[in-house]
Amino acid sequence: MAAQTETVTVSTILDYLARAIEEKLPIAPTVWVDAANKLCVLLGDEHDKLCEMEQKVAELKLKYLEADPKHNVSAARSRIQATEPFKELRKQELLCKRVEEFIRLSKLRSRLLAEEMRA
């Protein structure tokens, strides 16, 4: 019987590495590079989600502005920032930034560990 494999997502990769770091387990340079490569590929999907969320928030803002000609952009921004779609948008933006930074740090960490092994 074939074993079921877990779908690889940004969350599964980050959770795995977070647990390893919290438990102070050694992580081989190849694991860092592999994680960075996978995250780089998956980041495109996260950016697509972000674009969809930005569109939804922009539509909400437009509806609010069109509902009353007295509303201004500043009031619309404040009102939109209090909504659940805006909160989810911000979380997605921060996830994308965290993944991008993780990719950079993974590459650096891999290089440093490889150099340590050579020495």
pLDDT tens, residue by residue, 66-117: 998 888 888 889 999 999 999 999 999 999 999 999 899 888 887 887 788 7
* pLDDT bucket at 4, cuts 50 / 70 / 90: low
Neighbour count for residue 33 (Cβ, 10 Å): 17
Distance between start and end Cα atoms, the chain? 45
Predicted local confidence at residue 25, as pLDDT: 93
Which two structure tokens, joined as six digits, stand for 68? Answer: 């009353």
Number of helices and strands in the chain (H, E) = 4, 0
* Greater pLDDT, 74 or 4: 74
Predicted local confidence at residue 2, as pLDDT: 40
Q: How far is CA 12 from CA 7, 19, 68, 86, 105, in A?
A: 8, 11, 45, 24, 18
List pLDDT tens digits, range 42-69: 999 999 999 999 999 999 999 999 998 8
- In the predicted structure, residue 24 carries a pLDDT above the cut 70: yes
